[in-house]
Homo-oligomer: A and B are copies of this chain.
Amino acid sequence: MPGYHQVTASHMPAEVAGITGAHLLQYIERIERLEEEKTALGEQSKEIFQEAKSSGFDPKIIRIVLRERKRTPEELDEEETMVLLYKQALGMMPAADS
């Protein structure tokens, strides 16, 4: 009883056996290489957060600041304004002033 010949699907590249596998492997390995690098960067990030924490900074607050730095001041203002407006409409705010 034969091997993998039966499972050939019609939408696989119609190339000579072996070529397709090598071709696919190229892609796979390139992606894996990139993922390794991403993982390494993630670890470095984590270390910096730990350093910062050791220095007395709150990682959670740092994350918020990082997030806000990615956005334009206009975006932030716009959103903040809208949130404030909604909260006031809901009576969640002390009315802001007289």
What residues of chain B lie closer than 8 Å to A83, measured between beta carbons?
61, 64-65, 68
Number of interface residues of A (CB under 8 A): 63
Nearest Cβ distance between residue A79 and chain B, in whole angstroms? Answer: 7
Interface mask (A25-60 → B, CB under 8 Å = 1, otherwise 0): 101101110110110011011001101100111101
Judging by beta carbons under 8 Å apart, are B31 and A37 in contact?
A: no
Main secondary structure of the interface of A (DSSP, over half): helix
Judging by beta carbons under 8 Å apart, are A45 and B34 in contact?
A: yes
What residues of chain B lie closer than 8 Å to A8, measured between beta carbons?
85
Judging by beta carbons under 8 Å apart, are B96 and A57 in contact?
A: no
Judging by beta carbons under 8 Å apart, are A45 and B55 in contact?
A: no
